[in-house]
Structure 1
Amino acid sequence: MAECADLLYVDKINVSFPMPGGRIEAVKSFSMRVRPGKVTALVGESGSGKSVLGRSIMGIESPVANVSGQVFFHDPEMAKTVDLLALPHDGRQIRHIRGSRIGMIFQEPMTSFSPVHTVGNQIEEVLTVHAVLSPKEKRARVEEMLGLVGFDNPSRVFDMYPFELSGGMRQRAMIAMALICKPALLIADEPTTALDVTIQAQILKLLMELQEKLGMAILLITHDLGVVASLADDVVVIYRGEVMESGPVEAIFQNPQHAYTKGLMAAVPHFEMDRGERLKPLREIKVDTAGLIERCSTKQAKGDVLLSVRNVSKSFQVKRSNGFFSKATAATLAVNDVSFDIMRGETLGLVGESGCGKTTLSKILMRGVTANHGAVTFNDGDGSIDVLNAQGQALQALRTKIQMVFQDPVSSLSPRMTVRGIVGEPLEIHGRGNRASRLDVVRRLIHSIGLPESAMGRYPHSFSGGQRQRIGIARALALGPDLVICDEPVSALDVSVQAQILNLMKDLKSELGLTYLFISHNLAVINYMADRVAVMYAGRIVEIAPCETIMRNPVHPYTKKLLAAVPMPNLDHPLDFDLIGQPSKAAKKLWARQFHDDGTPDNLTHVDLGGGHLVLARRNVDARELRA
């Protein structure tokens, strides 16, 4: 029997699933403990069994799963210890504990909410199951909790539908649902993976505040060691369903013992890395570009301007329906007067929060979205192409010179095509060679990204997330492009696979002489990949400079906020929640005088601080003041 000092004690739990030809063991003789009022982090790669363990504790794993072992829950309210696995799967006692005494936040808030019910109705349902309250009392409790998780107008949010909320807001609503009954234990399954760094920092700060206010314990399931360093008291490292190492967070980070733990830490990009230092993924990808090098253009010298973007703007007008009639609202500027150059052979990092206009800008460059005005010129040495107005042969040629790697490796690959068809499709569309030569190119591309030749006949669903992203990269390289636009190519991947992909992209750039526009919300990733960095906020480039300058001496307050929001796997550098949150009155006053857009024409301009460092500031601000 577990000691009363533990809120939760998992004792030698096993979870397996039936598969053709046998069973797969997802969790093997796994033991861990969660102390009252503490944060215990369960850390491991995707597929290591973390989520299976969380669902098994809650009693919501698939009925086909074979679960054995013991999970002791000592509820202070019940004053007794219960073995959760011994309770009837859907009996009254487990239903009382699940949702009331143990809450759970799921990884993807959109799929966790019903799209046809309001947010308030769905949170209220938990109270209907677990409490005896009048409709008025239930609404008051829900609105109180929505206010507690950070909504300014809880009454309005109560009547909204999940699709009307942003990703960060939906995750806040999910936290409100999990905590509405004030549980003793919260299981948070990758609660910030799908969010950008500033929203992630807000959610983590919220969880810390609510933990302290409600006195609850948290089992934090994650692959992000930076989040663990900022939040956890205890750490359990899991690999293939087994415990590799466990202990206090200080011991794990300052003196890791197991090779797997050391490998996870070495795979995370951080700001202390030297410019030439390489990430160390747990499983390295061998790059073989033999036969591909001659297919890349060499007519332009390294350092010449490959792509020039000048004063590009794009606005969207949303129509709101009112019965049979629709009314156009005011236009929203997604991209606002953006200008920059990309030099041949460099990686330009484009960084900013979700919704700042990064992806819209990339679609403009790819001719997927039409800009309202501005100019984009592409010059690879064969002559200039007007990207925004190219037609016919010029547009066809442009398509071969600029390619894109997309954010989601699942939805960007057709599930009905084999890898051979996916990678070879660009060659067929553009009439490159005959069938035999195209097959040869596909074979060499598959080798270049470190996949075996046998992968060519398989479908995307049979690959992991990282392997699917490598297939997307191979497809982008099929036509021998000069410029590759990478739109958040690693944000959906765990740290070890992320390190694989980042190293692969660096190797391919070096071997093939590629130029990247690398879009991300994570400045630690940008620091590893980029030569220069452009920071985007509310549709505008607010700061652009060499990578070293941005990381060591940022000027714009938004850049500083982004840097502060990156969780680092280092106990000496926890997240600065004060900088991420509301700045001081003195800072607000200074920033308003230097950077505030008052709406007047040409109020803001890019001030040159020297060395290629430009920052968007008020026209009357002196460069010396900004440098200081």
Structure 2
Amino acid sequence: MNPPKEVLRIEGLNVSFPVWGGAIQAVRNLSMRIRPGQVTALVGESGSGKSALGRAIMGIETDVAKISGRAVFDDPATGQSVDLIALPRDGRQIRAIRGSRIGMIFQEPMTSFSPIHTVGNQIEESLKIHTAMSPAERREASEETLSLVGFDNPARVFDMYPFELSGGMRQRAMIAMALVCRPALLIADEPTTALDVTIQAQILKLLQELQAKLGMAMLLITHDLGVVASMADEVVVVYRGEVMEAGSASDIFRNPQHPYTKGLMAAVPDFDRPREERLKPLREIKVDTVGLMGRRKSEKVLPEILLSVNHVTKSFVTKKGAGFGFGVKPERTVAVNDVSFEIRRGETLGLVGESGCGKTTLSKILMRGLSVDHGSVVYNGENGPVDVLNCEGEVLDDLRTRLQMVFQDPVSSLSPRMPVRSIIREPLDIHDRGPLAKRQEAVRRLIHAVGMPESALMRYPHSFSGGQRQRIGIARALALGPDLVICDEPVSALDVSIQAQVLNLMKDLKSELGLTYLFISHNLAVVNYMADRVAVMYAGRIVEIGPCETIMRAPVHPYTKKLLAAVPLPSLDHKLDFETIGTPTASAMKIWGKQFLDEKDSDQLTHVDLGGGHLVLARTNVDARELVAG
């Protein structure tokens, strides 16, 4: 039997959703193909219809959606050809295909798993539906698939609940759930968007290996052109539900023709672009800070160091085991371990590291959201130094106006019950900044400052896109005229063009208002664009700190090198090297010691000064020249 030329052939697909007074056309007359054993990437901004296409193929789109066109699935195993769109959505035939011959990985694994069933119970569900295996055989097949996706102890994971797994482990478990029946086609809808770069690299490597091992085709739905460059054989670029450009990965990356494709590529920060060169989003934001409340220039000569963090340590104590806490020995986890650094007035300090390294815990400490075991934080304001961790009363009230925060998730950080006007005005109300009329005028100026119309003030957060919600969060953070804004992963949930908008906006506001940023991220390409200096955090410690140019071009610590190697770039000449990611060299193991790299803890480490403000954490007896050479 000859294999089909296409596993899936989509012809003139339309997906629309009825709304008051009309309909939203999510997918418009879209045609594309997916070949056996190849990865076809579907690329576009949020709202371009990518996920609607995936759901339509699987027959899981909402009942109110109107779907027309053809999606012909040619099963390589049986040779049978069927139009998926023509099948009843809950019919026997589509159910036999869905989950068995076509698998799907969703963007957010936590919302895709049932919290009340074990991981194994949910993985073996497909085997219950599609096979005649016994319970023992289903468990064996499920554990084999868990092992295939990289779990060392699949029997233990089988009996765990989803909340017991990290984000990366949950994504692996979801991949196992999609692959347990060995499908001919896998639809991966933004499979790595919520993951940090090193975990993302692991998942991409895993998908690549599984695709080769199982010989399946893959539809990779993503907005990340770096991921596409490292994974795809063919690329389809969509905008507002229509195909703008399609071709091989080589054609799209080396010789893009459509202005939209070129625009997407110009919006991505990368290491080849000069750091001072501005990103080019598809739609630019105009910044208007004229008369912005809180904009001020002090006549005093202020200290160069705005914030000084000295030997801060924070640990959490958990109890493991059963029995109402009696006889259970507490377990101490050190989240932030003897951290010291300084933030200079008017600079952007980038703080980078994987999820769980202590970045957000540190930001909460700086904002007085968490106490510390020991250490100190000093803020040098216009009225002299302030002990951030111990100040009270009026000093604390004033400090809270000087330090503000922009959060990672713009949805959960904005109250759904408040209009935008009240959200932005709330800090002014709390700190009693002038009469009501003055506060309302300040709110109008703030919304203009982040490039949004005044009409947005009457609406609620749910009616905005992710990028617009993040701009509302930035406006709220600027309301009190802060000196330091802590930005905790402010663009990690945004697609590339919206990300470029927000990054440019933050740079413009910094220049116009004289702000200082602590910019927390796991993406070094973004930090390379934003930061003046960079601190790299691993296992609760700052392992390397220095000027941005030095960290990005001449890193010394193996963990910094690992982070840099895991950043997917939108270039076929700089694909991810899946063979070397995450593997320290023998010389690195010798210099830093196996204990530190494996157990993340050692008392024999200190910061070695390499000159020019470049410090690296290493063993006390290591010569700096050996570090640089290593």
Query: C-alpha distance in 2, partners of 1:398/1:289?
Result: 23
Aligned residue in 1 for 2:459 = 458
- Provide the residue aligned with 1:331 in structure 2: 332
My pick for the range that moved more, 347-356 or 92-101, is: 92-101
CA distance, structure 1, for counterparts of residue 224 and residue 302 of structure 2: 36
- Letter of the 1:462 partner, please give it: S
Residue 275 of structure 1 pairs with residue 246 of structure 2: no
Which residue of 2 is the match for residue 315 of structure 1? 315
Check if 1:140 corresponds to 2:140.
yes
- Secondary structure class of the residue paired with 2:626: helix
2:61 corresponding residue in structure 1: 61
**Quick check: 1:158 aligned with 2:193?**
no
Pair 1:292–1:469, CA change in 2 (3 A): same
Contact persistence 2:293–2:442 (CA under 8 A): no
SS of the counterpart of 1:518?
strand
**Contact preservation (8 Å) 1:596, 1:617:** no
The answer to whether residue 376 in structure 2 is matched with residue 375 in structure 1 is yes
Write the mapping of 1:595-606 to structure 2, written as runs, cut at 5 A: 602-606=603-607
Aligned-residue offset at 1:80: 1.9
Equivalences for 1:178-217 in 2 at 5 Å?
Answer: 178-217=178-217
- Name 1:120's counterpart in structure 2: 120
Q: Deviations over 1:382-418 (max 9, x none)?
A: 2110000011111001000000000000000011111
Equivalent residue runs for 1:52-91 within 5 Å: 52-91=52-91
Matched, 1:419 2:417: no
Contiguous gaps of at least 5 residues in structure 2: none
Matched to 2:115, the amino acid is: P
Residue 258 of structure 2 is aligned to residue 255 of structure 1:
no
2:95 aligned partner: 95
**Distance change in 2, residues 1:596/1:411 (3 Å):** closer
Residue pair 2:235, 2:248 contacting (<8 A) in 1 also:
yes
- The AA in structure 1 aligned to 2:483 is D
In 2, distance between residues paired with 1:302 and 1:464?
A: 39
Q: Which position in structure 1 is the counterpart of 2:399?
A: 398
User: C-alpha displacement at 1:424, in angstroms?
Assistant: 0.6
1:26 correspondence with 2:29: no
Partners in 2 of 1:579 and 1:307 — Cα distance?
A: 38
The question of whether the paired residues in 1 share the 8 Å contact of 2:293 and 2:480 is answered with no
Bigger mean CA deviation after superposition, 586-595 or 386-395:
586-595
Counterpart of 1:209, as a letter, is: E
Could you tell me how far apart the structure 2 residues matched to 1:133 and 1:601 are? 50
Deviations 1:425-467 (A, max 9, x none): 1011001000000011101001100011111111111111100
Give the drift of 1:293.
7.4
Secondary structure of 1:86's aligned partner: coil
SS of the aligned residue for 1:577 comes to coil
1-structure distance, mates of 2:252, 2:423: 43
Give the Cα–Cα distance (whole angstroms) in 2 for the partners of residues 284 and 601 of structure 1. 48
Match of 1:354 in 2: 355
Note the residue ranges of structure 1 that are not aligned, 5 or more in a row: none
1:615 matched to 2:616: yes
Cα RMSD between the aligned structures? 1.6
> C-alpha displacement at 1:78, in angstroms?
1.7
Contact 2:410 2:469 (C-alpha < 8 Å) held by counterparts: yes
1:185-584 aligned within 5 A: 185-292=185-292, 295-299=295-299, 304-320=304-320, 322-325=322-325, 327-584=328-585
Q: How many angstroms apart in 2 are the aligned matches of 1:359 and 1:598?
A: 21
Please say if residues 265 and 569 of structure 1, whose CA atoms lie closer than 8 Å, have aligned partners that are also in contact. yes
CA 1:189–1:596 in structure 2 vs 1: closer, same or farther (change >3 Å)? closer
Higher deviation after alignment, 176-185 or 575-584: 575-584
Q: State the alpha-carbon separation in 2 of the partners of residues 294 and 91 from structure 1.
A: 62
Q: In the aligned structure 2, how far is the partner of 1:193 from the partner of 1:584?
A: 29
Tell me how far 1:71 sits from its aligned partner. Answer: 0.4
Query: Could you say what secondary structure the match of 2:572 adopts?
Result: coil
Residues 327-372 of structure 1 deviation map (CA, whole Å, 9 limit, x = unaligned): 3531100000000000000000000000000000000000001111
Deviation (angstroms), 1:589: 3.9
Q: Give the paired residue count.
A: 626
Shift in Å at residue 320 of structure 1? Answer: 3.2
Whether the 8 Å contact between 1:594 and 1:618 is mirrored in structure 2 is: no
C-alpha spacing 1:598/1:580, structure 2 compared with 1 (3 Å): closer
CA distance in 2, matches of 1:39, 1:4: 16
TM-superposed deviation, 1:585: 4.7
Structure 1 residues 281 and 599, CA gap change in structure 2 (3 angstroms)? closer
Residue 16 to residue 302, structure 1, CA distance change in 2 (3 Å): farther
Q: What is the alpha-carbon distance in structure 2 between the residues aligned to residue 132 and residue 103 of structure 1?
A: 19
**CA shift in 2, pair 1:311/1:41, >3 Å:** same
User: Are the equivalent residues in 1 in contact too, given 2:558–2:584 (CA < 8 A)?
Assistant: no
Partner of 2:108: 108
> Separation in 2 of the partners of 1:598 and 1:268?
35
Q: Residue deviations 1:136-172, cap 9 Å, x none?
A: 1111111111011000100000000000000000000
What per-residue deviation string (whole Å, max 9, x for no partner) do you get for residues 529-565 of structure 1? 0000000000000000000000000000000000000
Question: Aligned equivalents of 1:600 and 1:468: distance in 2?
Answer: 39
8 Å CA contact 1:299–1:382 kept in 2: the answer is no
Q: Hey, what does 2:169 align to over in structure 1?
A: 169
Partner amino acid for 1:374? G
